[in-house]
């Protein structure tokens, strides 16, 4: 099983995200991550999603998605030829001893402290999924109050075409 990144260009209509997501659910495919944004054309949205499966599942998903009326295009994005980033916001419980350690870790990962309160610190990190996962593995040694991450947003590099 492998993780695949798909870029789906859709008409920016109410309910289009629900229709795309339900297509996966009806066929028993799980979406690992999903991001959606308007493009430079306000009538078109860009959906980036990741799914785990094999080539047959990827092919089936692509064929089914293209059949939706609102879908203009479905592309498989090869990670080796793409830029893909996630955003992580993580709120950490701090005290005088952990504050310094967390600042050092934040510096190593080129993350940002975006909020600092007497007992908590919110850190923002963007980067590849592997970078986010490595950072989270280190953070497990501290007290995580809350966290959220966006999932992958990806775009093919022009040099790869």
Residue range 111-126, pLDDT digits in tens:
999 999 999 999 999 9
What's the average model confidence in pLDDT over 33-61? 90
Going 7 to 73 to 76 to 29, the CA torsion angle's sign is: positive
Confidence of residue 53 (pLDDT cuts 50, 70, 90): confident
Predicted local distance difference test score (pLDDT) of residue 57: 83
pLDDT in tens, 138-157: 999 999 999 999 989 998 88
Predicted structure pTM score: 0.81
Predicted local distance difference test score (pLDDT) of residue 158: 80
117-151: b (≥16 Cβ within 10 Å) or e: eeeebbbebebebebbeebeeebeebeeeeeebbb
pLDDT at residue 48 above 60? yes
pLDDT in tens, 83-137: 889 999 999 999 999 999 999 999 999 999 999 999 999 999 999 989 999 999 9
Nearest to 160, CA basis, from 62, 79, 75, 73: 79
Percentage of the chain beyond pLDDT 90 is: 63
pLDDT at residue 160 above 70? no
What value does the mean pLDDT of the chain take? 91
pLDDT at residue 62 above 80? yes
Predicted local distance difference test score (pLDDT) of residue 161: 52
What's the average model confidence in pLDDT over 24-35? 85
Tokens describing residue 53: 């499966």
Local structure of residue 79 (DSSP, 8 states): G
Domains of the chain: 2-77 (3.30.70.260), 83-156 (3.30.70.1150)
């Amino acid at each position: 099983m492998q993780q695949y990144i798909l870029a789906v260009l859709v008409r920016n209509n109410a309910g289009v995200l629900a229709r795309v997501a339900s297509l996966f659910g009806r066929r028993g495919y799980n979406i690992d991550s999903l991001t959606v944004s308007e493009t430079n054309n306000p009538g078109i949205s860009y959906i980036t999603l990741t799914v785990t499966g094999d080539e047959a599942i990827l092919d089936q998903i692509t064929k089914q998605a293209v059949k939706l009326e609102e879908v203009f295009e479905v592309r498989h994005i090869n990670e080796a030829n793409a830029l893909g980033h996630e955003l992580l916001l993580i709120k950490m419980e701090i005290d005088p001893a952990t504050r310094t350690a967390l600042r050092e870790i934040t510096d190593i990962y080129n993350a940002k402290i975006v909020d600092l309160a007497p007992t908590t610190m919110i850190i923002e990190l963007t980067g590849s999924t592997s970078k986010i996962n490595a950072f989270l593995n280190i953070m497990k040694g501290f007290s995580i109050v809350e966290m959220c991450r966006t999932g992958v947003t990806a775009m093919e590099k022009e040099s790869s075409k």
